[in-house]
Chains A and B, each alone.
Chain A
Amino acid sequence: MNHLHLAHPHADVPATTPLAAGAVRMLDGSAVLPLHDAEQLTGVTVHDLAAHRALFGPRRSYLGHAADTLLADMDAVELSGRGGGHFPTAAKWRSVARAGAGGTVVANAAEGEPAIAKDAVLLLTRPHLVLDGLAAAVEVLGAREGVVWLHDGAWASARSVTRALEERRHAGELDPPIRIMLAPARYLSGEATGIIRTLEGGPTLPRWVADPARPWSAGERPVLVNNAETLARAALLGHVGAAAYAPTSLLTVVSDTYRVVVEAGPDETFGQVLARSWRSPDGQAPVAALLGGYGGSWVRWEHLAPLPVSNPALKPFGLSVGAGLLGPLPQRVCGLEESGRILRYLAGQSAKQCGPCVFGLPAVADLVDRLVEGRLGRRDKHTLDTYVREISGRGACRHPDGALRMLSTALTVFADDVARHKHGRSCDAPLHSVLPIPADPEEA
């Protein structure tokens, strides 16, 4: 895997791009919420139907030619999937449309990433933006229904969506049929092929697809799965047009006892975002940050800080905003141990279907434990390299690849920590861990 080309911290750093005057953002502030749930949220105004319609006017119908305008606008702003994959949204819609009408559109807000809360923030404060986007996608594709996909236990989000749907019915809005579905509260519950499999009556587990270019239409009835933020962005684009659309990203910044969901634009660097959203436990800048998600990339902070929050600007560096995690690692936390914990968690969250993932990830996690304990011999190191090579690209989904990407970037970025542990010296860094790991219900 070759992810980082950041040999020189400040070489060829792309400049930030100012937003157009009057550009319309999704949020009116940054949302502050606890680490483990989204019940108490502050910092963003909740828009009920009246407030939403006062801002944007009535929902637009996409049953006619308006669909072409919306797709062209999506192309113009290069709207891409915010669940993490950043696949071009218009291309996905066109592809599913070609598969035929009468299917289902899913607003995916399962948000299995333990630290990320952007979709919850949208459903709690901008439910009508998500529902406008879902309704638009149903109409553009000629689908028969929309589904809001939540994980079991996301009661605040479920209540908010239910209330929003009732508001719309009361107001006589002409929406397609929309229902809520609850998925098991697991890391992989938001994986698109698992959602499609569930809609076809199967288990919520990822499925291997023979044609990797078209995983979203595997069944007889075409299914479009879009992340909730992606659909909210499609709705915003439909309301304000490409010229007034702010190409921002929703980042979830993790501090020690709370999280902040920030709407950051290409006019800001990661350094500026952190300055206004993160509480450093020691007043110092972080060593590094985990970017994208738990299957994302660790990046040294001096490399990430000057980069603008913009996926096109990050791409040449092998980086992606992914699902929007910005997990800073404070100076006094050991990056190797933190990565080992995350790897163990990801290994436990395997769908337990594919051999290389079921057996490979725990085996790799065991070797990383040995590394942490200073007991990794030369043959173990060789075995670790072999395992990583053997697992890569061999799952039905990308779960093992993400886990290995996180590990491989950690071994580079935290080379100093690795060296300290290797020489059997106790690591003087670890105070506590920072990134949240959900308790395993089977161990409780």
Chain B
Amino acid sequence: MLAAPGGFARSGDQPMEVVGLEQWTGIVASYRPDVLVVDVWASWCVSCIERFPEMVAMAERYADHDVRFITLNLDDPRDQVGIDWSNEFLQRIGADFPNYHLRENLTESFERLDLLAIPVVLIYDGQGEERYRLTNDDPNDQFDEADIESAVETLLAERA
């Protein structure tokens, strides 16, 4: 089952919907809010987990705006312990927005998504165009939560 935009992505009673790379492109395209925020993370990414509560809080702060938050989990599809941990974590932390798990080889995922490392936050505008790619790939230009909020505010202002 794929989550319809506005719905809560679930597979059985788990928070994460399992998807492939080809589906993922379509999923992103299916969301057309004023601003779409995609948090890319994994259970092995300590810094992803540490910053996740702020992402949940941010989603709550923007609940009255047309801003959608979704997550993409990159745990190894063979690592059921890690996947189970991620599902439990999402439930425990109240990540009540669509969460997806990519069932792909990690090396291929990084190449196809053009990522060097996670956490990464991708932010799309109302036309579905990726406008911000917030990474830690430059030691002199790493992102923080203020950068996410600034990007969201910029895109919201464009829609006003």
Partners in one complex: no
Using a CB–CB distance below 8 Å, which chain A residues touch chain B? none
CB within 8 Å of A: which residues of B? none
